[in-house]
Protein backbone atom coordinates (compact mmCIF):
# COMPACT_ATOMS: atom_id res chain seq x y z
CA UNK A 1 0.00 0.00 0.00
CA UNK A 2 1.34 3.40 -0.91
CA UNK A 3 1.90 5.57 2.14
CA UNK A 4 0.42 9.05 2.06
CA UNK A 5 2.80 11.78 0.99
CA UNK A 6 3.88 14.27 3.59
CA UNK A 7 2.29 17.65 2.88
CA UNK A 8 4.74 20.53 3.00
CA UNK A 9 4.53 24.29 2.69
CA UNK A 10 7.84 25.99 1.93
CA UNK A 11 8.22 29.47 3.41
CA UNK A 12 10.94 30.94 1.26
CA UNK A 13 12.99 33.99 0.23
CA UNK A 14 14.40 32.79 -3.11
CA UNK A 15 17.45 32.89 -3.12
CA UNK A 16 19.81 30.53 -4.94
CA UNK A 17 19.88 27.82 -2.27
CA UNK A 18 16.11 28.26 -1.92
CA UNK A 19 15.76 27.45 -5.63
CA UNK A 20 17.79 24.28 -5.11
CA UNK A 21 15.66 23.33 -2.09
CA UNK A 22 12.37 23.92 -3.90
CA UNK A 23 13.53 21.77 -6.83
CA UNK A 24 14.62 19.00 -4.44
CA UNK A 25 11.17 19.05 -2.84
CA UNK A 26 9.39 19.00 -6.21
CA UNK A 27 11.49 16.00 -7.30
CA UNK A 28 10.93 14.04 -4.06
CA UNK A 29 8.18 11.41 -4.17
CA UNK A 30 7.99 11.42 -0.34
CA UNK A 31 6.35 14.84 -0.23
CA UNK A 32 3.60 16.88 -1.79
CA UNK A 33 4.36 20.60 -1.92
CA UNK A 34 0.95 22.17 -1.20
CA UNK A 35 2.11 25.78 -1.35
CA UNK A 36 4.89 28.30 -1.20
CA UNK A 37 4.76 31.31 1.09
CA UNK A 38 7.19 34.16 0.68
CA UNK A 39 9.30 36.30 2.97
CA UNK A 40 12.11 38.86 2.85
CA UNK A 41 15.68 37.80 3.58
CA UNK A 42 17.80 37.02 0.58
CA UNK A 43 15.60 39.53 -1.32
CA UNK A 44 12.65 41.79 -0.42
CA UNK A 45 9.28 40.03 -0.14
CA UNK A 46 7.92 41.42 -3.44
CA UNK A 47 10.88 39.92 -5.31
CA UNK A 48 10.64 36.70 -3.28
CA UNK A 49 7.06 36.30 -4.53
CA UNK A 50 8.10 36.98 -8.10
CA UNK A 51 10.97 34.46 -7.82
CA UNK A 52 8.73 31.82 -6.21
CA UNK A 53 6.27 32.12 -9.12
CA UNK A 54 9.17 32.04 -11.61
CA UNK A 55 10.67 28.88 -10.07
CA UNK A 56 7.31 27.08 -10.21
CA UNK A 57 7.03 28.05 -13.89
CA UNK A 58 10.56 26.71 -14.54
CA UNK A 59 9.50 23.47 -12.83
CA UNK A 60 6.18 23.29 -14.69
CA UNK A 61 4.29 23.35 -11.38
CA UNK A 62 2.08 26.41 -11.66
CA UNK A 63 -0.65 24.34 -9.98
CA UNK A 64 1.07 25.09 -6.64
CA UNK A 65 -0.24 28.28 -4.98
CA UNK A 66 2.06 31.07 -3.83
CA UNK A 67 0.93 33.23 -0.89
CA UNK A 68 2.80 36.44 -0.28
CA UNK A 69 4.15 37.04 3.20
CA UNK A 70 5.07 39.97 5.36
CA UNK A 71 7.09 42.92 4.09
CA UNK A 72 8.11 43.94 7.61
CA UNK A 73 9.27 42.22 10.80
CA UNK A 74 6.86 41.07 13.51
CA UNK A 75 7.54 44.37 15.36
CA UNK A 76 6.76 46.26 12.09
CA UNK A 77 10.45 46.92 11.51
CA UNK A 78 11.26 48.11 7.99
CA UNK A 79 15.05 48.27 8.25
CA UNK A 80 15.63 44.83 6.74
CA UNK A 81 19.00 43.25 6.06
CA UNK A 82 18.77 41.84 2.55
CA UNK A 83 21.47 39.39 1.39
CA UNK A 84 21.66 40.51 -2.25
CA UNK A 85 25.46 40.33 -1.92
CA UNK A 86 25.06 36.54 -1.56
CA UNK A 87 22.42 35.87 -4.24
CA UNK A 88 22.66 38.77 -6.70
CA UNK A 89 20.37 41.78 -7.02
CA UNK A 90 17.58 39.60 -8.48
CA UNK A 91 18.11 36.88 -5.87
CA UNK A 92 18.76 34.31 -8.60
CA UNK A 93 22.32 34.96 -9.70
CA UNK A 94 21.69 38.07 -11.88
CA UNK A 95 20.28 36.08 -14.80
CA UNK A 96 17.65 38.58 -16.05
CA UNK A 97 14.88 36.02 -16.14
CA UNK A 98 11.59 37.26 -17.63
CA UNK A 99 8.87 38.17 -15.13
CA UNK A 100 6.54 35.30 -14.21
CA UNK A 101 3.09 35.08 -15.77
CA UNK A 102 1.42 33.87 -12.60
CA UNK A 103 0.13 35.81 -9.61
CA UNK A 104 0.11 35.09 -5.90
CA UNK A 105 -3.21 34.06 -4.33
CA UNK A 106 -5.27 36.67 -2.45
CA UNK A 107 -4.56 35.24 1.00
CA UNK A 108 -1.56 36.35 2.99
CA UNK A 109 1.09 33.77 3.89
CA UNK A 110 -0.02 33.64 7.54
CA UNK A 111 -3.69 33.17 6.61
CA UNK A 112 -2.77 30.45 4.11
CA UNK A 113 -0.65 28.65 6.71
CA UNK A 114 -3.52 28.74 9.23
CA UNK A 115 -6.05 27.57 6.64
CA UNK A 116 -3.95 24.61 5.53
CA UNK A 117 -3.19 23.61 9.14
CA UNK A 118 -6.95 23.65 9.85
CA UNK A 119 -7.69 21.68 6.70
CA UNK A 120 -5.16 18.93 7.54
CA UNK A 121 -4.62 19.09 11.31
CA UNK A 122 -1.28 17.61 12.38
CA UNK A 123 -0.38 16.69 8.80
CA UNK A 124 1.29 19.79 7.39
CA UNK A 125 5.02 20.40 7.72
CA UNK A 126 6.19 23.98 7.27
CA UNK A 127 9.73 24.20 5.99
CA UNK A 128 10.90 27.72 6.80
CA UNK A 129 13.91 28.87 4.81
CA UNK A 130 13.94 32.58 5.71
CA UNK A 131 13.20 34.83 8.71
CA UNK A 132 10.29 33.48 10.75
CA UNK A 133 7.87 36.43 10.53
CA UNK A 134 5.08 34.59 8.68
CA UNK A 135 5.14 31.66 11.10
CA UNK A 136 5.06 34.02 14.10
CA UNK A 137 2.15 35.92 12.52
CA UNK A 138 0.25 32.65 12.08
CA UNK A 139 0.90 31.83 15.76
CA UNK A 140 -0.34 35.30 16.76
CA UNK A 141 -3.42 35.20 14.54
CA UNK A 142 -4.41 31.72 15.69
CA UNK A 143 -3.14 30.53 19.08
CA UNK A 144 -4.14 26.96 18.16
CA UNK A 145 -1.79 27.00 15.14
CA UNK A 146 1.06 25.59 17.26
CA UNK A 147 -0.99 22.45 17.85
CA UNK A 148 -2.56 22.17 14.39
CA UNK A 149 0.64 22.47 12.42
CA UNK A 150 2.42 19.14 12.12
CA UNK A 151 6.03 20.20 12.34
CA UNK A 152 8.06 23.33 11.71
CA UNK A 153 11.40 22.49 10.12
CA UNK A 154 13.49 25.63 9.93
CA UNK A 155 16.82 26.81 8.66
CA UNK A 156 18.07 29.04 11.40
CA UNK A 157 20.44 29.56 14.23
CA UNK A 158 24.08 28.94 14.96
CA UNK A 159 24.21 26.45 17.83
CA UNK A 160 27.49 26.73 19.75
CA UNK A 161 29.23 28.23 16.72
CA UNK A 162 29.59 31.80 15.39
CA UNK A 163 26.85 33.25 13.22
CA UNK A 164 27.24 34.26 9.57
CA UNK A 165 25.96 37.83 9.96
CA UNK A 166 28.21 38.53 12.93
CA UNK A 167 29.76 36.34 15.64
CA UNK A 168 26.41 36.09 17.44
CA UNK A 169 23.75 35.72 14.77
CA UNK A 170 22.80 33.58 11.80
CA UNK A 171 21.08 35.45 8.94
CA UNK A 172 17.52 34.07 9.19
CA UNK A 173 17.27 34.53 12.95
CA UNK A 174 18.94 37.95 12.69
CA UNK A 175 16.29 38.91 10.11
CA UNK A 176 13.55 38.76 12.77
CA UNK A 177 14.78 37.65 16.21
CA UNK A 178 11.45 38.50 17.89
CA UNK A 179 9.57 36.26 15.47
CA UNK A 180 12.11 33.48 15.98
CA UNK A 181 11.68 33.61 19.75
CA UNK A 182 7.88 33.41 19.32
CA UNK A 183 8.29 30.29 17.17
CA UNK A 184 10.78 28.58 19.50
CA UNK A 185 8.59 29.22 22.57
CA UNK A 186 5.25 28.42 20.88
CA UNK A 187 5.06 24.79 21.95
CA UNK A 188 5.02 23.65 18.32
CA UNK A 189 7.14 20.71 17.22
CA UNK A 190 10.22 22.53 15.89
CA UNK A 191 13.20 21.00 14.11
CA UNK A 192 15.93 23.64 13.73
CA UNK A 193 18.79 23.16 11.29
CA UNK A 194 21.54 25.59 12.25
CA UNK A 195 24.59 26.62 10.29
CA UNK A 196 26.60 24.38 12.61
CA UNK A 197 24.95 21.64 10.50
CA UNK A 198 24.65 23.27 7.06
CA UNK A 199 28.30 24.34 6.99
CA UNK A 200 29.10 20.60 6.87
CA UNK A 201 27.09 20.17 3.66
CA UNK A 202 29.08 21.57 0.76
CA UNK A 203 28.55 21.49 -2.99
CA UNK A 204 32.12 21.59 -4.31
CA UNK A 205 33.50 23.01 -7.57
CA UNK A 206 33.81 19.40 -8.77
CA UNK A 207 30.13 18.77 -7.95
CA UNK A 208 29.21 21.84 -9.94
CA UNK A 209 31.24 20.57 -12.91
CA UNK A 210 29.10 17.40 -12.80
CA UNK A 211 25.99 19.59 -12.80
CA UNK A 212 27.25 21.49 -15.85
CA UNK A 213 27.67 18.14 -17.69
CA UNK A 214 24.33 16.76 -16.54
CA UNK A 215 21.12 16.43 -18.54
CA UNK A 216 19.16 16.30 -15.29
CA UNK A 217 15.92 18.21 -15.04
CA UNK A 218 17.24 21.34 -13.31
CA UNK A 219 21.00 20.94 -13.86
CA UNK A 220 21.54 23.63 -16.49
CA UNK A 221 19.33 26.15 -14.74
CA UNK A 222 21.09 25.62 -11.41
CA UNK A 223 24.59 25.71 -12.97
CA UNK A 224 23.78 29.18 -14.26
CA UNK A 225 22.35 30.69 -11.09
CA UNK A 226 25.03 29.07 -8.89
CA UNK A 227 27.83 31.19 -10.40
CA UNK A 228 27.12 34.17 -8.13
CA UNK A 229 26.71 31.93 -5.04
CA UNK A 230 30.11 30.31 -5.71
CA UNK A 231 31.75 33.71 -6.21
CA UNK A 232 30.38 34.89 -2.86
CA UNK A 233 31.67 31.82 -1.02
CA UNK A 234 35.13 32.15 -2.58
CA UNK A 235 35.24 35.75 -1.47
CA UNK A 236 33.68 35.43 1.98
CA UNK A 237 34.80 31.98 3.12
CA UNK A 238 37.81 31.21 0.88
CA UNK A 239 36.06 27.94 -0.09
CA UNK A 240 35.86 26.24 -3.47
CA UNK A 241 32.31 25.23 -2.85
CA UNK A 242 29.02 26.49 -1.43
CA UNK A 243 27.02 25.72 1.68
CA UNK A 244 23.75 23.92 0.99
CA UNK A 245 21.71 25.59 3.74
CA UNK A 246 18.21 25.34 2.30
CA UNK A 247 18.59 21.96 0.53
CA UNK A 248 19.84 20.42 3.79
CA UNK A 249 16.76 21.75 5.56
CA UNK A 250 14.45 20.20 2.96
CA UNK A 251 16.33 16.92 3.32
CA UNK A 252 15.85 17.10 7.10
CA UNK A 253 12.10 17.45 6.52
CA UNK A 254 12.04 14.58 4.02
CA UNK A 255 14.26 12.16 5.85
CA UNK A 256 15.36 13.23 9.35
CA UNK A 257 17.21 9.92 9.82
CA UNK A 258 20.02 11.36 7.67
CA UNK A 259 20.88 13.81 10.46
CA UNK A 260 21.40 13.57 14.20
CA UNK A 261 19.52 15.89 16.52
CA UNK A 262 19.84 17.19 20.05
CA UNK A 263 16.62 17.79 21.98
CA UNK A 264 16.29 20.88 24.11
CA UNK A 265 14.84 24.31 24.67
CA UNK A 266 15.88 27.23 22.45
CA UNK A 267 15.55 30.93 23.17
CA UNK A 268 16.60 33.83 20.99
CA UNK A 269 18.36 36.96 22.17
CA UNK A 270 16.29 39.91 20.92
CA UNK A 271 18.31 42.92 22.10
CA UNK A 272 21.82 44.25 22.33
CA UNK A 273 24.97 43.30 20.47
CA UNK A 274 24.04 39.60 20.57
CA UNK A 275 20.61 40.22 18.98
CA UNK A 276 19.77 37.07 16.99
CA UNK A 277 21.85 34.70 19.11
CA UNK A 278 20.25 31.26 19.53
CA UNK A 279 20.79 29.53 22.87
CA UNK A 280 20.08 25.83 23.22
CA UNK A 281 19.69 24.32 26.65
CA UNK A 282 20.35 20.63 26.28
CA UNK A 283 19.15 19.70 29.75
CA UNK A 284 22.45 18.26 30.93
CA UNK A 285 22.28 20.10 34.27
CA UNK A 286 19.44 19.19 36.59
O1 LIG B 1 27.12 35.77 4.97
C2 LIG B 1 25.91 35.73 4.84
N3 LIG B 1 25.13 36.76 5.18
C4 LIG B 1 23.78 36.72 5.03
N5 LIG B 1 23.11 35.68 4.56
C6 LIG B 1 23.83 34.63 4.21
C7 LIG B 1 25.20 34.59 4.34
N8 LIG B 1 25.63 33.41 3.92
C9 LIG B 1 24.54 32.73 3.56
N10 LIG B 1 23.45 33.46 3.74
C11 LIG B 1 22.06 33.09 3.48
O12 LIG B 1 21.40 33.01 4.74
C13 LIG B 1 20.89 31.70 4.98
C14 LIG B 1 21.77 30.95 5.94
O15 LIG B 1 22.06 31.70 7.05
C16 LIG B 1 20.84 31.06 3.61
O17 LIG B 1 19.60 31.32 3.01
C18 LIG B 1 21.97 31.72 2.87
O19 LIG B 1 21.75 31.78 1.50
Measured in Å, residue 281 CA sits from the centre of ligand 1 at: 24
| Ligand 1 touching residue 246 (CB < 6 A) | yes
Taking only the tens of pLDDT, the chain with its 286 residues reads 567 899 999 999 999 999 999 999 999 999 999 999 999 999 999 999 999 999 999 999 999 999 999 999 999 999 999 999 999 999 999 998 999 999 999 999 999 999 999 999 999 999 999 999 999 999 999 999 999 999 999 999 999 999 999 999 999 999 999 999 999 999 999 999 999 999 999 999 999 999 999 999 899 999 999 999 999 999 999 988 999 999 999 999 999 999 999 999 999 999 999 999 999 997 777 7
Atom of ligand 1 nearest to the CA of 87: 19
**pLDDT value at position 84?**
94
3-class DSSP state of 79: coil
DSSP per-residue string spanning 230-282: HHHHHHHH--SEEE-HHHHHHHHHH-GGGS-----EEEE--SSTTTT-EEEE-
What's residue 4's pLDDT?
Answer: 85
Angstrom distances, CA of residue 91 to CA of 13, 50, 238: 8, 10, 22
pLDDT of residue 126: 98
Ligand 1: centre distance to CA 171 (Å): 5
In our burial notation (b when 16+ CB lie closer than 10 A, e otherwise), range 164-174 reads: bbeebbbbbbb
Q: Which residues are catalytic?
A: 13, 245
Q: How many residues does the chain have?
A: 286
- Ligand 1 centre and the CA of 196: distance in Å? 13
Mutate to test the pocket of ligand 1, among 171, 196, 278 (most ligand atoms within 8 A of CB): 171
Which domains, and CATH codes, for the chain?
A: 6-281 (3.90.245.10)
Amino acid sequence: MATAKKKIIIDTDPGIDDAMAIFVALQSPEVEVIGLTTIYGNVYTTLATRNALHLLEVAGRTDIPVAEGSHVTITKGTKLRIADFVHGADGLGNQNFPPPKGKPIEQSAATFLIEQANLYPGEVTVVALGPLTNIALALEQDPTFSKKIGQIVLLGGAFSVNGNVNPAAEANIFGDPDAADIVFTSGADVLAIGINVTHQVVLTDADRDKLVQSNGRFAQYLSRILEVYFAYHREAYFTRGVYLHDPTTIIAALNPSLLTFTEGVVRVQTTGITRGLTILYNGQKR
